[in-house]
Amino acid sequence: MITDPNIDSEASIERDPEFESRVSDILGLLGEDPQREGLLRTHYRVAKAYRFLTRGYEMEIDDVINEAVFHENYNEMVIVKDIDFYSLCEHHLLPFFGRCHIAYIPNGKIVGLSKLPRLVEMFSRRLQVQERMTQQIADALQNVLQPLGVAVVCEGKHMCMMMRGVQKQNAIATTSEMVGAFESNSKTREEFLRLINTGF
């Protein structure tokens, strides 16, 4: 169990003997010997890594935001762009990774800027599809702040397309979620897209 959602280390993750045993079983099913020297601690490392990579399940929005919502008379666009994310495709358990860009237009309340990357971390550190992750980030920010608008764009490279299947190394998936003013006002939406200057 991860006790603090803001800890960025595997050090806080407790051992999980059942998980470790299942990893050893998988190694055997792959035709490997889990007892050979190079694999002696692989079951432990893999279990710990997967717990870390899916630690978003242990996070709650209230804990991530941590009361960092402030009343402020500011109504221009707030953008945090180029937020790195790493996630696992729920279809193959292979990584997908990229950048997330978030904007909102305050309606009397703002949130600490570091909380936007924390929201991305919370939803990306789960078994995911990029489309749903994008929507979850936008919905969370909308629910917390009730702003005039929220925009989220995610750009991702998917190892399930690069290492297997179609094996296309340069394909980039782009997903977006536009709420409020970003959905209804084309000039607002275009300003956001221009300012984030998307593209790897």
Q: Break the chain into its structural domains and give their ranges.
A: 10-53, 65-196
Q: What is the DSSP track for 158-184?
A: EHHHHTSTT--TT--EEEEEEEEHHHH
Write down the pLDDT at residue 144.
Answer: 97
**Per-residue confidence (pLDDT) for residue 197, from 0 to 100:** 85
CATH 2.40.50 correct for 10-53: no
> What pLDDT score does 6 carry?
47
Instruction: Say what the pLDDT of residue 10 is.
Output: 73
**Which residues on neighbouring strands pair with residue 102, listed in sequence order?**
80, 152
Q: Which residues are catalytic?
A: 89-92, 130, 158, 160
CATH classification of 65-196, choosing from 3.40.50.1110, 3.30.1130.10, 3.40.50.300, 3.40.50.1370?
A: 3.30.1130.10
Identify the pLDDT of residue 119. 97
Enter the pTM of the model: 0.90
CA pair distance 200, 190, nearest whole angstrom: 19
Q: How far is CA 86 from CA 23, 92, 142, 187, in A?
A: 22, 15, 23, 31
The answer to whether the Cα torsion of 175, 180, 186, 190 is positive or negative is negative
Place of tokens 């792959």: 30
**What does the pLDDT read at residue 20?**
96
**Mean pLDDT split into 10-residue runs, the chain, 200 residues:** 51 88 97 96 96 96 95 96 98 97 98 97 98 98 98 96 88 96 96 81
Q: Which residue type sits at 29?
A: L
Task: Identify the pLDDT of residue 45.
Answer: 95
